[in-house]
């Protein structure tokens, strides 16, 4: 299998998006092999919010978020009929991929988003594409909730970095891309395709190398 590494945004695990999660799982069952990194979503943000109020440091909030991603990854793995343990490192994931032609994992260490983990896994597996399946349909030039926000279909690594450089991010925050991920993509020339999970057919167009609606960072 030489397809993309997939980053499945944790937002798909919200109660309102359960249908889209079921649709995604249904389509993934048809794939012979896959490399999938799963985000933390609502459970991560809820637990982190409580811990932050208790005064926990960002490092430990990240650790809480990582546990949430692994819980979600376990759920997806079981739903796909896998009985393999969720890897806790890129090296473990590569070994599992070489043995089974499929791997599902969550986060690895504090300071790395699951998007960054996805890019690192793509590097380790020598893949040239990552598909970021998230809760927005495109990257926008500003918050898509703001009137007049414009969708971006293609953007360079350097332009994407400049655009998000002013964003302050803490543990558990939701943003379609982060600077570390883009820097990893740039150093290894890995294309990032960003699509919404709310259109399953379109998401799998991106995953399977067909024309899709979304943003390409390259």
Other beta carbons less than 10 A from residue 1's beta carbon: 12
CATH of region 5-217, choose from 1.20.58.760, 3.40.1160.10, 3.90.245.10, 3.40.50.1100: 3.40.1160.10
What does the domain layout of the chain look like in residue ranges? 5-217
The reported pLDDT for the residue numbered 119 is 98
Summarize the confidence of residues 127-148 as an average pLDDT. 89
| Structure confidence at residue 141 as a pLDDT band (50, 70, 90) | confident
| Structure confidence at residue 143 as a pLDDT band (50, 70, 90) | confident
Q: Coil, helix or strand for 164?
A: helix
pLDDT at 15 over 80: yes
20: Cβ–Cβ under 8 A, 6 or more apart, which residues?
Answer: 12, 197, 198, 200
The reported pLDDT for the residue numbered 172 is 40
Per-residue pLDDT of 173-203, as tens digits, reads 445 788 999 999 999 999 999 999 999 999 9
Q: Coil, helix or strand for 84?
A: coil
Summarize the confidence of residues 51-79 as an average pLDDT. 95
- Structure pTM? 0.91
> Which tokens is 54 given?
């208790």
Q: Is the four-CA dihedral 137, 138, 142, 148 of positive or negative sign?
A: negative
């Amino acid at each position: 299998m030489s397809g993309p590494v997939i980053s499945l945004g944790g937002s798909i695990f919200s109660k309102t998006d359960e249908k889209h999660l079921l649709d995604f799982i249904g389509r993934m069952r048809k794939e012979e092999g896959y490399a999938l990194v799963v985000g933390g979503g609502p459970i991560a943000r809820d637990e982190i919010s409580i811990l932050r109020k208790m005064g926990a440091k960002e490092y430990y909030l990240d650790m809480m978020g990582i546990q949430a991603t692994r819980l979600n990854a376990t759920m997806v793995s079981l739903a796909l009929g896998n009985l393999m343990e969720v890897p806790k490192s890129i090296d473990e994931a590569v070994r599992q991929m070489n043995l089974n032609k499929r791997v599902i994992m969550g986060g690895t260490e504090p300071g790395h988003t699951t998007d960054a983990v996805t890019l690192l896994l793509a590097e380790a597996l020598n893949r040239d594409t990552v598909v970021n399946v998230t809760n927005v349909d495109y990257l926008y030039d500003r918050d898509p909730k703001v009137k007049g926000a414009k969708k971006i279909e293609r953007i360079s690594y350097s332009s994407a970095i400049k655009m998000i450089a002013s964003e302050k991010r803490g543990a558990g925050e939701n943003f379609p891309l982060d600077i570390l991920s883009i820097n990893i993509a740039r150093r290894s020339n890995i294309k990032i395709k960003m699509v919404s999970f709310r259109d399953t057919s379109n998401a799998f167009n991106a995953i399977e190398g067909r024309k899709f609606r979304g943003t390409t960072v390259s």
